[in-house]
Amino acid sequence: MTALVVWRYLFSKANRHRGRVVRIMISLALSTLIMLTILSVMDSMQSARTDALKRVRSFPVTVTVSSRDEAESLISEYGQQATGFVYREDLGLMSAAGRAQGVMIRYIDGDYNGGIYASGASPEGGVYLPYRYYGGYTGTVSISTLEEGSAVRLRPVSRDYAVEGWYQSPLSDFDRMYVFLPLSSAPENLEWTAAFTDVEDEKALASSLEEAGHDAVLWSEKEGSVYSALLLEKAVMAILLSSLHVIVLVQLVQSAQMLERTKRRECAALCLMGWSGRRLCMTFGLTGLVMSLLSTAAGTVLSALLLGILPRIMPVFSRMSFAVDRTWAASVILAVSALSWLIYALVFARSAGEDSVMEVLGAQ
């Protein structure tokens, strides 16, 4: 009987309640659609960004050691858990044809697996430049670095390198900053880095390395500022979009108050039939719960359909695929449904104590 009463109250024709409920349900569905669509697109774009960071710049797990033999020993020891390679890195100044710019130099060999597309396997004796700069630097370039000297600790050293090839990566900021040189040309004072990619469990590998006495670094630690910014961006957007639901919940309060006034005598009659106040509160609460569940579920389904066709209707997303963020979908459905149940139940509970049953039945 409770289910019948809930359904009757939900779509009651009295006092235009059905029209208000339909408008509220449409608003909740559209708010859920907008929120889940935007957050799911953001999640996919952020995932693509973090994947590129792990493949190209920071790598899932890295360990800095003092010699190549130690680095290669680590790669051999943990080779079953991940793919490993060695590189070295330094700051430098690149100049040619009257132009100069600061660059990050990554010294690599043929085993390098850093997620770039290059015109050759690895630089043999020259330099690999970003594709966007390749046409502007022809012939040779001069690269200056700081190296250990005899009289002073560090001294500037300039070397000329032939422009041997070009590379591209998914990260535009990486392409603006990095150049690649042969590993054999790296200064002796640089540390060696063993990088591990294709890792199933990054934290487990890092823990295993630390237990063995090595200082393992996760990509999220290297990219701490970027990682935190991505999380903050998503959290702020979720808070802003949740204001759409807040506006609808205000309308929900008004709807609950109107329904309580309309069904006041009927509720009093149900009390005389043996219904307890708790059961009536639960019935009113279930009315709001069912309304929100139907609306948010419909909004989730519409969001999934929109995300499925978005790459087809918007060329900018043609190479991407989207899916509803299940965590956010579950959070929205549960939060809105719980608040709706609470609003309807509290509205009835507050008004139920104002008048006795007989006063309500005797009211004209």
Q: Concatenated DSSP letters for 107-141?
A: EE-TT---S-EESSSS-SSSEEEEHHHHTT--SEE
- The distance of Cα 261 from the centroid of its chain, to the nearest Å, equals 45
pLDDT of residue 361: 43
Q: Exposed, middle or buried by CB within 10 Å (0-12, 13-18, 19+), for 343? A: buried
Span 276-300, mean pLDDT?
A: 80
Task: List the single range of 220-224, 278-282, 305-309 with lowest mean pLDDT.
Answer: 278-282
Domain assignments of the chain as residue spans, ordered by start: 2-50+227-362, 61-219
> Which amino acid appears at position 76 of this protein?
S
Q: How crowded is residue 288: how many other Cβ atoms within 10 Å of its Cβ? A: 31
Q: Hey, what are 126's tokens?
A: 């020259």
Which pairing describes strands 127-130 and 154-168: parallel, antiparallel, or unpaired?
A: parallel
Sign for the CA dihedral angle at 321, 327, 329, 330 comes to positive
For 28-65, how does the pLDDT look when each residue is reduced to its tens digit (9 = 90+)? 889 889 988 888 888 888 888 888 888 898 899 999 99
Confidence (pTM): 0.71
Span 108-123, mean pLDDT?
A: 84
| Buried-state track 209-219, b at ≥16 Cβ within 10 A, e below 16 | beeeebebbbb
Span 94-102, mean pLDDT?
A: 82
| CA distance linking residue 300 with residue 292, whole number of Å | 12
Q: Is residue 359's pLDDT more than 60?
A: no
pLDDT of residue 51: 87
In this structure, what DSSP letter does residue 56 have?
A: I
What is the 3-state composition of the chain as percent helix, strand, coil, each rounded to the nearest 5?
60, 20, 20
Span 252-278, mean pLDDT?
A: 67
pLDDT of residue 70: 92
pLDDT band at 194 (very low <50, low <70, confident <90, very high): very high
Which pairing describes strands 117-118 and 99-108: parallel, antiparallel, or unpaired?
A: unpaired
Q: Is residue 257's pLDDT more than 80?
A: no
Sign for the CA dihedral angle at 264, 269, 272, 278 comes to negative
Span 227-237, mean pLDDT?
A: 83
Which pairing describes strands 99-108 and 178-182: parallel, antiparallel, or unpaired?
A: parallel
Say what percent of the chain tops pLDDT 90: 17
pLDDT of residue 259: 66
Q: Is residue 11's pLDDT more than 90?
A: no
3-state secondary structure of 63: strand
Strand partners, 136: none
Say what percent of the chain tops pLDDT 70: 83
pLDDT band at 5 (very low <50, low <70, confident <90, very high): low
- CA nearest 262: which of 21, 8, 14, 5? 14
